[in-house]
Each structure stands twice: as C-alpha cells, then as structure tokens.
Amino acid sequence: MCGIVGYIGPKEKKSILLDGLQELEYRGYDSAGFAVISGGKLSHFKAVGKLANLRKKAADFTSEGPGAAIGHTRWATHGKPTELNAHPHMGAFSYVVHNGIIENYRPLKEELEAQGVRFLSQTDTEVIVHLFEQKIREGLEPFEAFRATIGRLEGAYAILLISEAAPETIFFAKNGSPLLIALDGEEIYFASSDTAVIGKAQEAYYLEDGEYGYARPGEVRLYRPDDEPKALTTIPLPSDKAMAQKDGYRFFMEKEIYEQSTVIGDTILGRVLDEGIEFEELPDGFFDGIASITICACGTSYHAGLTGAYLLERMARIPCRVEIASEFRYKEPLLSPDTLFVTISQSGETADTLEALKMAKRAGLRSLTICNVDNSSIVRESDAAILTRAGIEKGVASTKAFATQVMVLWMLTLHLGQKRGTLESATIRREIDAMRRSPSALLVEEKLHERIHRLSKRYLHGHGFFFIGRDLFFPLALEGALKLKEISYLHAEGYPAGEMKHGPIALADAELFTIALMPRTLLYDKIKSNVEELSARDATILAISPEEFELADDFIRTKHAEHPMLEFFEMMVVTQLLAMEIAIRLGNDVDMPRNLAKSVTVE
C-alpha cells in the first residue's frame, strides 16, 4: 500500500527520500510528498500522480547539512488522491507521514475541532500531527507529547513525525503496519520496506507492534509497548532488491495470498463497528428508493459479484441479479431507475465494466462501485465508491482483490439488511463477530501450504478439473477454476455441484480431477451426495472440508467451520495455493501468465 521513507543525517535529503520512495513504487500509489527540517526550518512538497511530478516540483530545492526528513507515497483510502490529502500532513510547526488507518480518527477530530483546530485534509492521518501539537501547547516535552499522542490512537499505523520543536529528530511508532530503522554509522534511515534502504545502510531493526521512540544523529531510543526502554538489536539487511520487493516470497501472487489476512483487516477497519456496518463514503439516503440491485463486472470481480448476490438476497432480502459486463452491454437490458447499479473492479479501468456503467447511468440508475483504485475511471464515473483497500495487486491472477471485494459485499449486505430491517439483532452480532474473525480464516499456515505443495504433484496432468460447490461455494468453485486455468494452463471448470448429473458427469473417470468444496455450515449433506455420485464413477476427488470424507482420494481439512463466510475464505486460500503450486511445478511464470494483462482496457 503506502510507502514511508525517513532519513537523519547530513546528506542531500531530497534525493535520499525520492530515491527511497522510487524503490517503493512497486507497491502502488496515487500521490507523494516529503518534508525536511534543516537549519531549524521546515519545507515540504507534495504532488498528485507519479514521483516525477514531485521531483519536478522540488527541482530547485536542496537540503544538504544536518537535518531530518520524511517522505511518503499514498494509496488513497480516506479521501481522494489530491495534494491536500497527500502526506506529509502538517500542523503549525510539525509534519507527519503515516501508513495504516486510524480507526478512531472521527472522535479525535471532533475533539480537536472543538478546541479550535482547523483541518486541511479529509484524511484520518491529520489528527496525529494536531494531537501532537496540542500536547506541546499544553506544555509537554516533544517526546512526551509524541508518547501521549500515540497513546490516543486506535487502529493500524507506522508513523514518522518531525517538528520544529525538536530539530534533527524523528519520532516514530509502529502498530500493525511495517516499519524498520536502518543504520549507516551516524546516519539513520526509516522505511516501511527494506527495498527502500538496501544499498544505503547495512543493518536494520524491524519494529514490533506497539514499539515507538525517537532518533537523532547517531542515537536511536526505542521503547516497548509497556514504555520500558529496549535495546536496538539490528540484523544485516538483505542484498537482493527483487526478492525484498516480494518480501522474500517467490512470486508476487504468493505474497498477495499471504497478505490477505492483513488487507482484509484494512477493509473492515472503521467500517465494522460494534453496532453495525458504516460506510462513511456513502452519502446520506444513498439507498433510499432502491428496490433491486444489478451487479456488473468481469472475470474474478464477476465471481465476487455472484457471491454477493447470494448474500444480498438471503440476508438483505433485496432482489439482486449479476451480469457479465461484456454481455450486459449488448443484451438491450430492461433497466429501471429504482435499481442500484453496482460495478466491481480491481483496476477501475476495465473497458466493458466502464461502458456498462455509462449505459446504466444513461438509463437513470444510481451507481455504486466496489473498487481498489481511487480516482480510476470507474470510481470517477460512479455516484459513490467503496474502496476495497487491498493495496496494489501485482500478480495478474487476482487474489487479495477478490477477497476484499467479497468482504465489502458481505459488509454491504449487513449495512442494507440493517437499513431494511431484515436482520435480527442476534444475526447482526453473529455476522459482525464472524467478520472480525475473517483475518484469522485467511492466515496461511505453513503446514497447510506444505501439504498443498506435496499434493500438487499428483495434479499436473489429467483431462480436466471440475471445481464443484453449492450456494456461496459455487462462485468460489468458478473462481478456483479460473485461478487454476489462468496460471497452470490446464483445463478447469467451476460447476454447481447439483448440476453435474445434468451432463458433465459423463466426463467422470479416474483422469477427471474433482476439487470438491464441502463446507460444514452450508448444505453439507447435499454436496456430499453429489460428490458420492462422482466417486461412484471413479473420478479422482480432492475434498476440501472440515469433515473427513472417506470417499476422497485426497483430503484437505479446513478449520474454520463456525460460519459459512469463514469457511469460504479458508477454502479460497486453499484453492489459490493449489493453483499456484501446480503452476510452479509446471514451470510457469505465475505472476505474468501468457496471454493475460492485469488491466483490460479494451473491449
């Protein structure tokens, strides 16, 4: 997602920051900025778009000599990608950069505004710098002011703060978002990822959650969450940048599968509250007068839409249809203005989805997009947008974008269900509880990955794969099959399990591989009998289930069997890892499969 770089030392600070941020470009961003304190004086620059824009803006600025500097690349999650919303955020005499989300920023902002503080941006981050300055005004020493500030924050953060109140000093804190301190003699670097400092420093300390402190030339003071001092024990920095960009994983896709647990936490942050689901990005009354929903998307995003339709109809009791955008465009659909038109898109640039949206708008429909890229064409064209907060997705085969799209649709279902009064309060509590447990269902356990790796060698041939499931697990079967064919080039189909006997079962023999999604919480007995029918025809079966299934040739046991969506997410991870391990064994480039592009901007 966003990137952070910091530096304390005598070198030209602008170029250190810009070069460091350049190394973090691969993480995606839509604006950037930096601030320098040198000779007791603060300067800052911000620009929307690529780093080249920031370089141009700061072309005449130099900053050699003792001082400190902080820089940031921003991927918009709260507020549009504008210069005002770009980091660093400023107070009267301090600047802050921040990765993560401050969950309680609204009450903090109200409190500060009541004390006369004026906010410039729409971000959650800005509260940090104002809180800090209020504490200074109350008479606290700068470090005590910083300590008191982070004590008020809830949510996830990696923070760097500089201030005229403490020249040549960087205050830092980490909770839930990555941050490291790298050393080169007296010079001190900070970064959200080691790629930014490889080649500049030799050793680094990777902060743990709850740690904070301050640094000035030749000195780093680190504190544990219980406020006790802690020694800075550094380890050598890796030397391979490409490997560091992938956080040590073999492929971006692998990294993104592992990241799902974290990004889903970002997706729900500040939206899943004790009393229900809130989308502050949606205008008041946005759903008034809406009688039905049409979801429109392509590929993986379409599969997320299919999943959402099951949820929306079942829980929010609102009629919902799902359309493939390229079909929708030419079918001369009947559109009624009391239908909400929902597009789903990772990139926000998919040509068919964009054109379908324009068509719906021409017909007078209200539009909402569920998208990963703010300011993309689809976001700009839509009446409202809910950002999925997955961060940039580099692997062509979508993984974490899908997970976050499904999560947003689940949250939207609950939000609408509450508004429409279709849900008992006990159900709402149960759903919220399950949502909060989703990050753990998405965690990849080493043992599971190893098992899938070992199993994958048996699935490199055959005349085809059938992924089968029922209900919510039918779209997941479609998605599992799509993942496999995209990167392994093996033929795979997703099917509703109950449909097999209406034709496809004719293909069943020992060389037909069936991946059976058998959740405990949703129609277990039904899917079981469908799989038994296939087994009776000698199909090779890999069952994914929390229940032991004797007729399976291979079996992957899942653990989260307390809620259908937790089963969904856990099984999703299994299918993603299976596709990836098969593709790796077949020697394919998992991140850039043949014939595919990440963003399909042509019809």
DSSP annotation of 93 reads: S
Distance CA 374, CA 190 (A): 27
Residues facing residue 176 across a β-bridge: 157
Distance CA 41, CA 496 (A): 65
Which residue reads 């960087």 in tokens? 170
- Could you tell me if 387 and 76 are in contact, meaning their C-beta atoms sit under 8 angstroms apart? yes
Closest CA to 311 of 401, 435, 481, 466: 435
- Could you tell me if 340 and 292 are in contact, meaning their C-beta atoms sit under 8 angstroms apart? yes
Strands, E assignment, 303-439 = 320-324, 339-345, 366-371, 384-387
In degrees and rounded to multiples of 5, residue 573 shows phi and psi of -60, -40
What lies within 8 Å, CB to CB, of 288 at 6+ separation is: none
> Over the Cα atoms of the chain, what is R_g?
25
What lies within 8 Å, CB to CB, of 75 at 6+ separation is: 1, 2, 27, 28, 29, 30, 374, 391, 392
Element (H, E) at 427: helix 425-441
Question: Counting beta carbons within 10 angstroms of the beta carbon of residue 203, is it exposed (0 to 12), middle (13 to 18) or buried (19 or more)?
Answer: middle
Q: What is the 3-state secondary structure (H, E, C) of 214-283?
A: EEECCEEEEECCCCCEECCCCEECCCCHHHHHCCCCCCHHHHHHHHHHHHHHHHHCCCEECCEECCCCCC
Question: Counting beta carbons within 10 angstroms of the beta carbon of residue 84, is it exposed (0 to 12), middle (13 to 18) or buried (19 or more)?
Answer: middle
What lies within 8 Å, CB to CB, of 485 at 6+ separation is: 491, 492
For the annotated catalytic residues, the residue numbers are 2, 598
Binding positions for ligand F6R, rule: CB under 6 A: 298-301, 345-347, 350, 353, 397-398, 482, 486, 599-600
Cβ distance to ligand F6R smaller for residue 117 or 487: 487
Tokens of 345: 């898109």
Residue 44 one-letter amino acid: H
Inter-CA distances, 80 with 76, 121, 356, 499, Å: 6, 10, 24, 45
Distance CA 432, CA 245 (A): 34
- Could you tell me if 566 and 443 are in contact, meaning their C-beta atoms sit under 8 angstroms apart? no
Distance CA 225, CA 213 (A): 10
Distance CA 57, CA 59 (A): 6
Distance CA 330, CA 16 (A): 52
Strand order across the beta sheet in which 219-223 lies:
89-90, 94-102, 155-163, 170-175, 212-216, 219-223, 229-230
- Could you tell me if 451 and 556 are in contact, meaning their C-beta atoms sit under 8 angstroms apart? yes
How far out from the chain centre does Cα 566 lie?
A: 17
